[in-house]
Amino acid sequence: MQTTAVIMSAARQIAVESAALKAPGAGDLVVDIAYSGISTGTEKLFWLGTMPAFPGSGYPLVPGYESFGEVVEAAPDTGFKPGDTVFVPGANCFEGPVRGLFGGASRRLVTSANRVCRLDAGIGAQGALLALAATARHALAGFDTALPDLIIGHGALGRLLARLTMAAGAPAPTVWEINADRQGGATGYPVLHPDADPRRDYRAIYDASGAPDLLDTLVPRLAKGGEIVLCGFYTGAVGFAFVPAFMREMRLRIAAEWQPADLMATRSLIESGALSLDGLITHRARGQDAPAAYRTAFEDAGCLKMILDWKDAA
């Protein structure tokens, strides 16, 4: 099978090209993708050429791990049938030199049925946001985890952290944002420039900015025994001055990738109406216009989430 996919051949080199797909095997689904999202975290690092090396990474690659589409073929005993709509967290299904470490930005994908998550067709393009919402949920969940009372960054991830915090019944957190283009759009919580916030007794600060040099600014804002949670992906060394952290007996936690349980829990929150994904998709583009869409997603601060529409792609 052939498909049309975004192929990143090197840093800042993106094209939409034909790619060969592996034949589906036992337990596999073939999914026609309607929408895929562009991640301003990992995908941006590959685009910039700053992603640290790890197993399976390298160029050329098909980026993306936020895809929503319709099953068109289902192997027996998968529990799926043609016409089912699913979220696909990327797929390693490409022949030849193209790497599918993420592999979601493609018109068609072959994937194991145990990787997808069934979603109602009515969710539309918001179905591509499930992984981002599950990432936020993963940061908040866990034993003896304090919900944030301060969130750094009012991008899509920061907004989801705030919404999930309130959905859990906690008081509305404060959100810091220095970019005026992102200070609007809050739903029930305050968004402040850090200079306008005098508070210095936060229990739990969640950093959704990905800025590695921010800790020395955050530590003085903690209460004694407070926690800082790193929710982004940091390409450089993350450090902080020891004495202020010592005085506050600071705790530091890193939130990594979402797990299947996070995906299921997030789907339930969305379906029940406890978590809204409204207002997070700010930009859309056709799949064939991906090169320009990626630049917009990474360079325009007003772009919270860019969605590629693959429905009419060849």
Q: Are 44 and 11 in contact (CB under 8 A)?
A: no
Which pLDDT score is estimated for 227? 97
To the nearest 10°, report the CA torsion of 88, 94, 99, 100. Answer: 10
From the candidate CATH numbers 3.40.50.150, 3.40.50.720, 3.10.20.600, 3.90.1010.10, the one assigned to the domain spanning 136-254 = 3.40.50.720
d(CA 131, CA 43) in angstroms, rounded, equals 14
- Percentage above 70 pLDDT, the chain: 98
For residue 175, give both structure tokens: 């959100």
Residue type, 6: V
Residue-level pLDDT at 126: 98
Tell me, what amino acid is at 18?
Answer: S
Q: What is the pTM of this model?
A: 0.94
Residues 195-247 have pLDDT tens digits of 999 999 999 999 999 888 899 999 999 999 999 999 988 877 899 999 999 99
Q: Which tokens go with 283?
A: 């930009």
Dump pLDDT digits (tens) for 293-306.
999 999 998 999 99
Distances 182 to 41, 176, 283 between C-alpha atoms, Å? 17, 10, 14
Q: Name residue 34's amino acid.
A: A
Quote the DSSP letter at residue 22: P
Residue 122 burial (10 A CB sphere; 0-12, 13-18, 19+): exposed
pLDDT digits (tens, 9 = 90+) for 126-143: 999 999 999 999 999 977
Q: Is 60 exceeded by the pLDDT of residue 314?
A: no
Domains 2-118+282-309 and 136-254 share a fold: no
| Beta-strand pair 306-309/28-38 | antiparallel
The CATH number assigned to the domain with range 2-118+282-309 reads 3.90.180.10
Domain ranges within the chain, ordered by starting residue: 2-118+282-309, 136-254
Sign of CA dihedral 100, 32, 16, 21: positive
Give 27-77 pLDDT, tens digit per residue: 999 999 999 999 988 888 888 888 877 766 789 999 999 999 999 999 989
φ, ψ (nearest 5 deg) of residue 11: -55, 130
| CA–CA separation, 126 and 120 (whole Å) | 11
